[in-house]
Amino acid sequence: MKNNGIKKIIISLLILNFIILIIIGILIYNYIKLCSTEPVVSDFIFSSKEEYNTEDLEIISNKNQQEEKKIKSNPNDWNLLLINKSNKIPVNYSVELSTVENNQKVDSRIVESLNIMLQDARNQGLNPIICSSYRTNNWQSQLYNNKVRKYLSLGYNSEKAKEFASYWVAIPGSSEHETGLALDIVSKSYQILDEKQENTKEQKWLLENSYKYGFILRYPKDKQDITMTNYEPWHYRYVGLENSAYIKENNLCLEEFIEYLKEN
């Protein structure tokens, strides 16, 4: 009887060990299988365009690259010459002038673009005329001094008179008119240089379309703190087609655009 009890215990232990070995084997098998399988998460993330659209990323990437390559201009390009109160006309600056309508003169390099712009405006039934273009330094001095005298007559001291005058007429040596790259264009039906000029059909057309010919409105209403010049809805400056399009699209003044080129 005693021997039979021992046999039963041994058999039970053997069976238990066998079961344990089977369980261990199953665990090892599942572990090996799990390690050899590629993660399912990656397949899920990239499988749905709604969740992660690689085509959209490609478009964005290409757009960014195009944006970086969009402007190849150099701040030192002739058509980007920055003239203002802080940037005087270079001492050795010279310009080849050509006569355009109204016996006005401009830099010869902008004549073709200017003529096409004016003609296209006239094809729309408009009547723009050039009232001022290139000025010599002596002529600019006369205009500036006349404006100073006007403020003096109003009771301002010499310092204030010169300051206020410079917001309307550039200080000699700092006027774009002396470069031949800028000109004043007005409506034939309204030739007064004041803010009402912006209400004429001619100015509305120029404000909307001048960039297509390489010109920009040089002194916009919302940029006076940067240009340090009052709003002049008649003063246009040639900067070139690529530059004018970028300036128009991004609502920049020339000072801001030059700064952008220097930074990029």
Q: In this predicted model, what pLDDT tens digit does every residue of 192-204 receive, in sequence order? A: 999 999 999 999 9
> In this structure, are residues 252 and 218 in contact, taking their beta carbons and an 8 Å threshold?
no
CATH class name, domain 74-135+175-263:
alpha beta
What letter does residue 17 receive in the DSSP assignment? H
**Which residues are known to be catalytic?**
232
Residue 66: pLDDT over 50: no
* DSSP 8-state symbol, 181: S
- Distances in whole angstroms, Cα of residue 52 to Cα of each of 38, 46, 58: 20, 6, 12
User: Exposed (0-12), middle (13-18) or buried (19+): which is 24, by Cβ within 10 Å?
Assistant: exposed
Domain ranges of the chain: 2-66, 74-135+175-263
Percent of the chain with pLDDT over 90: 72
- How confident is the model over 203-243, as pLDDT tens digits? 999 999 999 999 999 999 999 999 999 999 999 999 999 99
Mean pLDDT over all residues of the chain? 85
Q: What is the C-alpha separation between 260 and 58, in angstroms, rounded?
A: 26
Confidence of residue 46 (pLDDT cuts 50, 70, 90): very low
Cβ atoms 127, 185 nearer than 8 A:
no
pLDDT score, position 53: 46
Which whole-number Å values give the CA distances from 212 to 47, 63, 118, in the listed order? 45, 22, 12
Name the band, by pLDDT with cuts 50, 70 and 90, for residue 40: very low
Burial of 224 (0-12, 13-18, 19+ CB in 10 A): middle
61 pLDDT tier (thresholds 50, 70, 90): very low
Task: Compute, in degrees rounded to 10, the torsion defined by CA atoms 105, 111, 117, 119.
Answer: 80
pTM of the model: 0.73
Q: Where is average pLDDT lowest: 37-41, 47-51, 111-115?
A: 47-51
Of residues 166 and 3, the one with the higher pLDDT is 166
